[in-house]
Amino acid sequence: MSDEHKQDQNKDESLYKAYMMKTKNDIHTSPSLSEEEQREIIRVGSNTARNATVMISLAILLLMLPIMTLITYLYYGIGGKANTMIDVVGKAIYVTEPNVSLEEMEIESEIGLFSMNVTFDTFKRIGSEDYLAEKVDVYFGLEKPKFPDKISFLEQLPPMGYGIDVVKDSQKMYHPDAMISFNTIEAEDVLNNLPDGTVAEAYLSFSELMKPNEIEKALPKEMEVRWLAVDTGLEAKQLDKEGVPITPIGYPAQVDTTTWSPFDGDQTNEEVFLDILKLLEKNEQTAEIVSQIKSLEIQDRRKYVEDKGILIYGAVVTGPVPELRKLEQVKEVRAINVGEVKLWNWK
């Protein structure tokens, strides 16, 4: 049986082989493509393939820039990331730079590839008018800011560098427990020698901590309080935990009715100040870089302020020089430092 089976199998195999062999041998008579057709197929195939390759490569190349642009816009747009960043930049300026304000409406943002430039002007109130202080350009690579490019229009330039002495000595307002590093007599001489027909901003250091509402009562009438420096627990030593010098933080004393200012009077300025500290706490790195301050220590300072309440150790005022001279007689003021001076504009 198995032998027979094997024989059968062998027979079948040879039959199949012969069958295939015949087909293969006769292949030249079977349907085929002519030489002409073959050449045409090759030509069209290679031409179309080349066209497709070129066109698809071109398409991919040309899609790159739009897609990257779109990704950038999606990155900044989704979740309002860019808006938060712009918000942080503006508000950091208000609480870290004395007597400086900006026009929220005029903040420009320009989005490039994976980057954004935020540009705006800052102003200082001297006398009754706002003067252009700085033109600021902050570059963000994705959400990482670089130190801002600033063009200053002020006569007194900010201190250069971050050294302990530089930062400490360039302060204009001092906590009652801190040693004043400038010569107070000389500083008063500056004020005394200014012509009467001028207006100026003056940085006051108080002899004791005061509540915000006590300040205006203690000062002469013909001047405007612009900015209040808040005691946050670090000002007496002027250093943070790690020994890095800190700079004052505070808030505008006046309600700002221009559109979109955070201090627009909906809440008291004190409440807005605390809200801003909370915002900056979440974006501390951005805030530090934008305000060019080495150490903000926002968290500790905010907690201190919330515990002890807002107590003021210094203020920026502006007004006519003769009126400012009266400050020398006010017992609550232990030092005056004159800032920017402008020609008479008092109304």
Partner 1 sequence: MELEDVYKHYMNDLYRYLYSLSKNHHVAEDLVQEAFYRAYLTLADYEINNIKAWLFKVAYHAFIDHQRKNKKTIVTDEIKENVDMRENTPESKMLEKESFLLLMEDLKCLKEIEEQAVLLCDLNELSYQEAAEILNIKLNTLKSHISRGRKKLVERVKERMNLDERRA
Partner 2 sequence: MELEIKKKSKRKLQTLTGFISFIIGLLALAVLNIGLLIETMDIPDLFLFHLPFLGVFLGVVGLFTKNRSKQFAWWGIGINLFIPIFIGLMFGLSWTINAKP
Q: Rule CB under 8 A: which residues touch partner 2?
A: 40-41, 44-45, 47-48, 51-52, 55-56, 58-59, 62-63, 65-66, 69-70, 73-74, 76-77, 80, 82-83, 86, 105, 107-109, 111
Can you tell me which of 5, 31, 241, 331 binds partner 1, judged by CB under 8 A? 31
Minimum distance from CB of 8 to partner 1 (Å)? 10
237 binds partner 1 (CB under 8 A): no
80 binds, among partner 1, partner 2, none (CB under 5 to 8 A by kind): partner 2
* Minimum distance of partner 2 from residue 284's CB (angstroms): 22
For residue 12, state whether it binds partner 1 (rule: CB under 8 A): yes
Cβ distance to partner 2 smaller for residue 67 or 166: 67
Report the DSSP beta bridge partners of residue 152.
134
Q: Is 333 in contact with 207 (CB distance < 8 Å)?
A: yes
Kindly report the CA angle at 15 between 10 and 19, in degrees rounded to 5? 150
- Please tell me whether residue 151 binds partner 1 under the rule CB under 8 A: no
User: Strand pairing partners for 229?
Assistant: 250, 314
* Pick 15 or 70: Cβ nearer partner 1: 15
CA distance 324 to 140: 41
Between residues 42 and 70, which has the closer beta carbon with respect to partner 1?
Answer: 42
Query: Whats the size of the chain, residue-wise?
Result: 347
Q: How far apart are CA 276 and CA 235, in angstroms?
A: 19
User: CA 163 to CA 49: how far, in whole Å?
Assistant: 66
Residue 5 beta carbon to partner 1: minimum distance, rounded to whole angstroms? 13
Nearer to partner 2, 77 or 195 (CB): 77
Q: Does 147 bind partner 1 (CB under 8 A)?
A: no
Binding partner at 29 among partner 2, partner 1, none, C-beta below 5 to 8 Å by kind: partner 1
d(CA 126, CA 227): 12
Comparing CB distances to partner 2, the nearer of 49 and 166 is 49
CA distance 97 to 244: 18
DSSP letter at 1 equals -
Q: At what angle are helices 81-96 and 269-282 packed, to 10 degrees?
A: 120
* Tokens coding 4: 């027979």
Q: Please say which residue, 13 or 110, places its beta carbon nearer to partner 2.
A: 110
Does 193 bind partner 1 (CB under 8 A)? Our answer is: no
Q: Which of 6, 50, 144, 308 binds partner 1 (CB under 8 A)?
A: 50
- The count of other CB atoms within 10 Å of the CB of residue 204 is 27
41 binds partner 1 (CB under 8 A): yes
- Give the nearer residue to partner 2 in terms of CB position, either 35 or 186: 35
Task: Pick between residue 10 and residue 268 the one whose CB is nearest to partner 1.
Answer: 10
For residue 274, give both structure tokens: 């605390």
Identify which range of 11-19, 131-139, 264-272, 287-295 contacts partner 1 by CB under 8 A.
Answer: 11-19
Check residue 163 for interaction with partner 1 (CB under 8 A).
no
Nearest to 315 by CA among 248, 258, 265: 248
Q: Cβ of residue 21: shortest distance to partner 1, in angstroms? A: 10
Give the β-pairing of 312-320 and 198-210.
antiparallel
Q: Which does 26 bind (CB under 5 to 8 A by kind): partner 2, partner 1, none?
A: partner 1
Q: Which of residues 307-336 bind partner 1 (CB under 8 A)?
A: none
Give the residue among 167, 211, 190 at the shortest CA–CA distance from 324.
Answer: 190
The answer to whether the beta carbons of residues 198 and 341 sit under 8 Å apart is yes
Q: What secondary structure, in 3-state letters, does 19-51 show?
A: HHHHHHHHHHHCCCCCHHHHHHHHHHHHHHHHH
The site for partner 1 (CB under 8 A) is made up of: 12, 15-16, 19-20, 22-27, 29-33, 37-38, 41-42, 44-46, 48-50, 52-53
